A and B are shown apart, each in its own frame.
Chain A
Amino acid sequence: MATQAAAFPRNGGLRHWWRVVRVGYWLGWQIESNWTDPLLFFIYSIARPLGGVLILVFMYHVVARAGGTAMLGFFVVGAACWPFVVRGMMGTAYSLISDREHWKTLRYVYISPISLRAYLVGRALAQATSAVAAAAVTLVFGRWVLGVPMHLATINAPYTAAAFALGIAAVIALGLLVVSAAFLISSEAWRMPEGVGAALYLVCGAIFPVTVLPPILQALSRAIPLTWWLEAMRRGLLGPAVVRSLPHLADGQVLMGLALLTVLWVTAALAVFTLAERRARQLGILDRETMY
Chain B
Amino acid sequence: MSDIARARGIRRVVRATLGRAYPRIIGANRERSWLFYDTILPLLGTIAFVYVYKALGAPDRFVGYVIMGGATMAFWMNVMWNMAAQFYWDKQGGNLELYMVLPCGIVPILLGMSFGGFVGTLVRAVAIIVIGSVLFHVTYTITQLPLFLLIFGVGIIALYGLGVTFASVFLMWGREAWHMAELFMEPVFLASGFYFPVRALGFWVGMGTSIIPLTLALDAMRQLLFPESHPALLPVRVELTALVGLAVLFIFVARLSLRKMEYLARREGRLSLRF
* Interface residue ranges, A against B (CB under 8 Å): 35-36, 44, 47-52, 54-56, 58-63, 65, 67, 71, 102-103, 187-188, 191, 194-195, 198-199, 201-202, 206-209, 212-213, 243, 291-292
Q: Is the CB–CB distance between B185 and A59 below 8 Å?
A: no
* Interface SS of B by simple majority: helix
In angstroms, Cα B49 to Cα A207, docked, is: 8
By a CB distance below 8 angstroms, the chain B residues around A243 are 55
* Interface SS of A by simple majority: helix
In angstroms, Cα B201 to Cα A198, docked, is: 26
* CB nearest to B95 among chain A residues: A292
Say which residue of A62, A195, A208 sits within 8 Å of B51 (CB atoms): A208
- Size of interface on B: residues with Cβ below 8 Å to A: 41
Residue among B41, B55, B56, B174 having the largest count of chain A Cβ atoms under 10 Å = B55
By a CB distance below 8 angstroms, the chain A residues around B200 are 58, 61-62
By a CB distance below 8 angstroms, the chain A residues around B57 are 63, 65
Residue among A54, A103, A201, A208 having the largest count of chain B Cβ atoms under 10 Å = A208
Closest Cβ of chain A to B186, distance in Å, is 3
Q: Is the CB–CB distance between B186 and A208 below 8 Å?
A: no
Binds A, one of B101-109, B110-118, B150-158, B190-198: B190-198
Given contacts A102-B92, A201-B48, A208-B51, is CB(A60)–CB(B190) below 8 Å? no
* Interface residue ranges, B against A (CB under 8 Å): 31, 33, 37, 40-41, 44-45, 47-49, 51-58, 62, 92-93, 174-176, 179, 182-183, 185-190, 193-197, 200-201, 275
* CB nearest to B51 among chain A residues: A208
By a CB distance below 8 angstroms, the chain A residues around B275 are 103
Enumerate 10 A-B pairs (CB-CB under 8 Å) in ascending A order: A48-B183, A51-B189, A55-B195, A67-B56, A103-B275, A199-B44, A202-B47, A202-B48, A206-B48, A212-B55
By a CB distance below 8 angstroms, the chain A residues around B51 are 202, 207-208, 212-213
Residue among B51, B92, B175, B193 having the largest count of chain A Cβ atoms under 10 Å = B51
In angstroms, Cα B179 to Cα A49, docked, is: 14
